[in-house]
Amino acid sequence: MSRVPLTYRRLFRREVLDICSLIFIADIVTGVPTPVFPLYATGLGASLGLLGVITAMLGLGRLISALPVGILSDRLGRKSVLVGGMVMFAVSFVAYAMAPNAEWLFLPRLLQAVAMVATFPLGVAYIGDVVEPRDRGAAIGIYTAAMGSGFAVGPLIGSWVAANAGYPEAYLVGAAFALAGAVFGAVRLVRMKPGRGGPSIGSALVDLGALRTLIREPVMLMACIANIAMTLSMTGAIFTYFPIYARAVGISTVTIGSLFAWRSIASASGRIPMGPLSTRLPARWTLVGVLLAEAAIDVAIAHTTSALALTGLLILEGVGFGIFLVSGQSAVAAASGPHNRGAAVGMFWMAGSVGELFGPIVLGL
């Protein structure tokens, strides 16, 4: 029997399946407003410039909160922060639904940022805590595939509810999913004691020496720089302005949601096989290759108005992002230990938040 099937047999257990189920729900929640938010904001009176600034608040919130939330999970345990993140999703989505004008959207955008850093990167830390190093790449592949699958469902739900009931109602549906995820996490996730065996960043509130040691790891530094570049493109060009561009060339809201769903399905399909490969392929070449492909796709999207061509390009972009996500997060998990893995994934997400902060603003000017 080959090593790969044996690996997946070892991973077919409660700890792995439950965190993948939680993150599937979390990405449904995140996906619900993806085709809706730019249209909702402009409908409330936001100009393209203001839309870029509001969108960038997600990056600012993640930039500010990613490392503290990761450190908090090193102290309190992953479960508490993961469940709290799902509750924060629900609170932020209710705030979105109550928005009387575009300016109101700044607050829920920041709350959503905290919810995101309290769920997605900490799920990787949870995986790193419960899975042996030899199986970690495969486990992260399954985990990120669950993320992508949820994000395939979310835009379909959000666009359908928005088209039939309205934009605020789409956010309320997302809030309901978030609360269901919080209950699931509280019941099913395993509470683990903080890791031992090294200098804990979380044992002091912020150990600057331990942080400097972590960022000096070549793999950590490379992954963080690559994440800045990827989120600069993805958040700016794909998530913020693609829905508006697609709407301008005559594509309906429901169809835009379908395009994002196809992107997520394609992205998720490549993540499981990429998991074992991520431990064999040099991360630096994988990440550079994906970034070059991302740049080419952005240019191609700007030069086509065909719904079929846009679907194909968005699918290719999704596949590339899936490869990037598995390789980058596997590298981060391998570069850290149980005592500082929450801080490591927080640092990785904080780096991505730099691109997420400036991408929408620069492209909106």
Residue 299 burial (CB count, 10 A): 10
Q: What CATH number is given to the structural domain containing 94? A: 1.20.1250.20
Q: Which helix (H) or strand (E) holds 5?
A: helix 3-11
- Positive or negative, the Cα torsion across 226, 36, 105, 240? positive
Contacts of 269 (CB under 8 A, 6+ apart): 145, 148, 319, 322
Q: What is the DSSP letter of 12?
A: -
Confidence at residue 182, expressed as pLDDT on a 0 to 100 scale: 98
Q: Please give the model's pTM, rounded to 2 decimal places.
A: 0.77
Residue numbers of the domain that contains 337: 7-190+206-364
Mean pLDDT by 10 residues, the chain (365 residues): 68 92 97 92 93 87 86 89 97 98 96 95 89 87 88 92 96 98 97 56 49 76 90 82 86 86 86 80 87 93 87 90 88 78 80 80 58
C-alpha to C-alpha distance for 217 and 159, rounded to whole angstroms: 42
Closest to 87 (Cα-Cα) out of 113, 115, 109 = 115
In the chain, count H helices and then E strands.
Answer: 17, 0
C-alpha to C-alpha distance for 46 and 156, rounded to whole angstroms: 24
Taking a C-beta distance cutoff of 8 angstroms, is the pair 325, 286 a contact?
Answer: no
C-alpha to C-alpha distance for 85 and 194, rounded to whole angstroms: 19
Q: CA angle 360-87-260, nearest 5°?
A: 40
Asked if the structure places residue 272 within a domain, the reply is yes
Confidence at residue 1, expressed as pLDDT on a 0 to 100 scale: 45
DSSP per position, 145-166: HHHHHHHHHHHHHHHHHHHHT-
C-alpha to C-alpha distance for 222 and 328, rounded to whole angstroms: 9
Asked if the structure places residue 200 within a domain, the reply is no
Residue 198 burial (CB count, 10 A): 13
DSSP per position, 288-355: HHHHHHHHHHHHHHTT---HHHHHHHHHHHHHHHHHHHHHHHHHHHHH--TTTHHHHHHHHHHHHHHH
Q: How many domains does the chain have?
A: 1
Which one-letter amino acid corresponds to residue 27? D
Asked if the structure places residue 46 within a domain, the reply is yes
Identify the three-state secondary structure at position 210.
Answer: helix
Closest to 344 (Cα-Cα) out of 357, 363, 329 = 329
Confidence at residue 336, expressed as pLDDT on a 0 to 100 scale: 79
Confidence at residue 209, expressed as pLDDT on a 0 to 100 scale: 60
Asked if the structure places residue 78 within a domain, the reply is yes
Confidence at residue 233, expressed as pLDDT on a 0 to 100 scale: 85
Closest to 264 (Cα-Cα) out of 228, 188, 335, 318 = 318
C-alpha to C-alpha distance for 53 and 36, rounded to whole angstroms: 17
In whole angstroms, what separates CA 181 from the centre of its chain?
A: 16
Residue 21 burial (CB count, 10 A): 17
Taking a C-beta distance cutoff of 8 angstroms, is the pair 42, 95 a contact?
Answer: no
Confidence at residue 198, expressed as pLDDT on a 0 to 100 scale: 47
